[in-house]
Structure 1
């Protein structure tokens, strides 16, 4: 894979209460990724950026909600989330990563 493309695949980590619970329980980390990213690209990008071994990647396409703002109807953005399972003994600590 192209290293430049891999650097752009991961947009941001998702740090919510649910994501934190999953990280503690089953060694998974949640990322927001590009809409056209594949599982193989996500796996290689995480291994390249964070120097960890990845067991598996599960992908979720999350459609944005339609919301109402007074008399105007708007829509939240669509997201693609990646649940990345890490190999035994590997961990990503976002407080240490610069």
Structure 2
């Protein structure tokens, strides 16, 4: 399944980890049920809620023959998991640096 493009690591998305919410960029044609099934199957978790929104298209500065370019259109999904579940590759442990 090529629905999920990548995980999002912004200040807000990292704060949402404490609420057991994870943020992903997904293909614009993907449905909520497809993404939910894929996340539950791939990560082995239970999804209780999903919020999505379309990000605005950004205009690129380069111009080709009087036509301006733009970024691809995609959706961003915020997925809430049931308590007790987490997505291990995205959960990072803080390590303390020992000073010598």
> TM-score, structure 1 length as denominator?
0.76
Counterpart of 1:3? Answer: none
Contact kept? 1:42, 1:57, Cα under 8 Å: no
Query: Secondary structure of 1:83's match?
Result: strand
1:62 deviates by 0.6
Superposed CA offset, 1:46-67 (max 9, x none)? 0011000000111111122224
1:35 deviates by 0.9
Q: Which structure 2 residues correspond to residues 20-35 of structure 1 after superposition, within 5 A? A: 20-24=14-18, 26-35=19-28
1:23 deviates by 1.6
Distance (Å, rounded) in 2 between the aligned partners of 1:10 and 1:93: 17
Q: Which structure 2 residues correspond to residues 28-43 of structure 1 after superposition, within 5 A? A: 28-43=21-36
Bigger CA radius of gyration: 2
Structure 2 residue ranges without an equivalent (≥5): 92-100
Structure 1 residue ranges without an equivalent (≥5): 1-6
> TM-score, structure 2 length as denominator?
0.75
Aligned length: 87
Distance (Å, rounded) in 2 between the aligned partners of 1:29 and 1:55: 12
Counterpart of 2:73? Answer: 78
Instruction: Work out which of the residue numbers 2, 5, 19 in structure 2 matches 1:8.
Output: 2
1:95 deviates by 5.4
Superposed CA offset, 1:54-86 (max 9, x none)? 0011111112222435xx454233221111000
